[in-house]
Amino acid sequence: MRLLWQKDGYVCQEMVELVTDYLEGALTRSERRRFEAHLAACEHCSEYLAQMRVTIAATGRLAAEDLTPDMREDFTELYRKWRAESE
Amino acid sequence: MIAVLGRRASNAVDPDAELLARLRRGEEEAFVMLAARHHAAMLRLARAFVSSDAIAEEVVQDTWVGVLRGIDGFGERSTFRTWLMRILVNRAKSTGVHENRSVAVGDAGPVVDRARFDATGAWMSPPQHWIEDSDDRMQAQALSDPLHAALGELPPRQREVVILRDVDGLTGQEVCEVLEISEANQRVLLHRGRSHLRQALEDELVLR
């Protein structure tokens, strides 16, 4: 079993290149199995994957920004101008 | 349920459908609400293409004029957001684009420094733990500044993909439609971009 794993397994350097394909579900079933087998045996790559997940989640929290009242006015004006021109 | 590639599954509801219908009936408020909903994402994407905030604002305004003119031609084969972002990308490109865009800076080579692995490819200098489990919100605050900075350092194509996928939450397929790139290309750009952001956070948060 161990021998088999060594023969077919990914090394850490390959793992960091496959992380996105793994998270995107783009690995084949056998690639996915090998990826997860390495994860189960390697705390560093598990840490790396966890950090990628936190990074993605934190990037997703950069989004929230609302329109300022000024911008609302700009867009109202833009709309009225367009209406006036298209009539 | 099999969704035809390049089209939405017929049972998927476009979150903008209601506002769109009201806009078509000529409701000004619906327009302002649509603009408000998409404004931040549009500005972010525009800013990845052009060289100043002021030009990005113009591109966004210009895009909305294009939307108002073209609204009757919108066939709803894609989501409104995808259609909107495609118009934006086209406007941004015709407005003037960063000179170094076509150069694939940082689109090749390993995403983690080779020196961190030994000759067998195993970690020699493994990732240091910096994830705080205690308080998610505190963590988000602490990460926000370095993330903004790191996003700014990304080559434009990576930045566009990361912004659309991870900041604004588009699906991979939507990103491909907006930027007119293949799925494989999208994944490579996303991978390189995300890997850079992770490294930037490690550099920022781990005391060496």
**pLDDT tier at B169, thresholds 50, 70, 90:** confident
- The mean pLDDT of A32-55, rounded to a whole number, is 96
Determine phi and psi for A26, rounding to 5 degrees.
-100, 0
CATH topology of domain B106-205: Arc Repressor Mutant, subunit A (1.10.10)
Nearest neighbour of A76 by CB, restricted to B26, B28, B112? B28
Question: What's A7's domain CATH number?
Answer: 1.10.10.1320
Q: Flag whether pLDDT at A35 surpasses 50.
A: yes
Contact across the interface for B197 and A55, Cβ inside 8 Å:
yes
Count of domains for chain A: 1
Q: Give the integer Cα–Cα distance in Å for B73 and A4.
A: 58
Residue B158: name the closest of B124, B115, B187 by CA.
B187
pLDDT band at residue B134 using 50, 70 and 90 as cut-offs: low
Per-residue pLDDT at B136: 63
In this prediction, residue B124 carries a pLDDT of 95
Is the pLDDT confidence value at B25 over 70?
Answer: yes
b/e string for A9-23 if b means 16 or more Cβ within 10 A?
bbbbbbbbebbbbbb
More confident of the two residues B23 and B8: B23
Q: Residue B74 corresponds to which tokens in the numbers above?
A: 């919108």
- By three-state DSSP, how is residue B182 classified? coil
Give the tens place of pLDDT for each residue, B117-132.
999 999 999 998 888 7
C-alpha torsion A69→A73→A74→A78, nearest 10: 150
> Cβ separation of A82 and B68 shorter than 8 Å?
yes
What confidence tier does A67 reach under pLDDT thresholds 50, 70, 90? low
Tell me: the pLDDT tens digits for A14-34? 999 999 999 999 999 999 999
Supply the pTM of this predicted model. Answer: 0.77
- Best probe of the A interface among B61, B84, B132, B143, by most A CBs < 10 A, is B143
Q: Would you kindly state where each structural domain of chain B is located, as residue ranges?
A: 17-97, 106-205
Chain B residues touching A17 at Cβ < 8 A: 110-111, 191
With CB atoms and an 8 Å threshold, state whether B130 touches A51. yes
Contact between B64 and B35 under an 8 Å Cβ cutoff? The reply is yes
| Residues of chain A that touch chain B, judged by Cβ-Cβ distance less than 8 Å | 11-14, 16-17, 19-21, 24, 26, 42, 44-45, 47-48, 50-52, 54-56, 58-67, 71-72, 74-76, 78-80, 82-83, 86
B46, B56 in Cβ contact below 8 A? yes
Do the Cβ atoms of A55 and B191 come within 8 Å? no
**Candidate from A17, A47, A63 with C-beta closest to B167:** A63
pLDDT of residue B12: 65
Tell me which residue range forms the domain holding A76: 2-86
Q: What is the mean pLDDT of chain B?
A: 83
Arithmetic mean of pLDDT over chain A: 84
Contacts of B31 in chain A (CB under 8 A): 75, 79
The structural architecture, per CATH, of the domain B17-97 is Orthogonal Bundle (1.10)
Measured between CB atoms, which of A13, A54, A79 is closest to B28?
A79
Q: pLDDT by residue (tens digit) across B72-99? A: 888 878 889 999 999 999 999 888 665 4
On the question of pLDDT at A3 being above 50, the answer is no
Q: How far apart are CA A38 and CA A44, in angstroms?
A: 10
Question: Do A79 and B61 touch, CB atoms closer than 8 A?
Answer: no
Out of B144, B194, B202, whose CB is closest to A20?
A: B194
Give the amino acid at B83.
W
What number is the average pLDDT over the span B35-43? 88
Question: Which residues in A lie closer than 8 A to residue B120 (C-beta atoms)?
Answer: 11
Q: Is A60 left (phi over 0), alpha (psi -120 to 50) or beta?
A: alpha
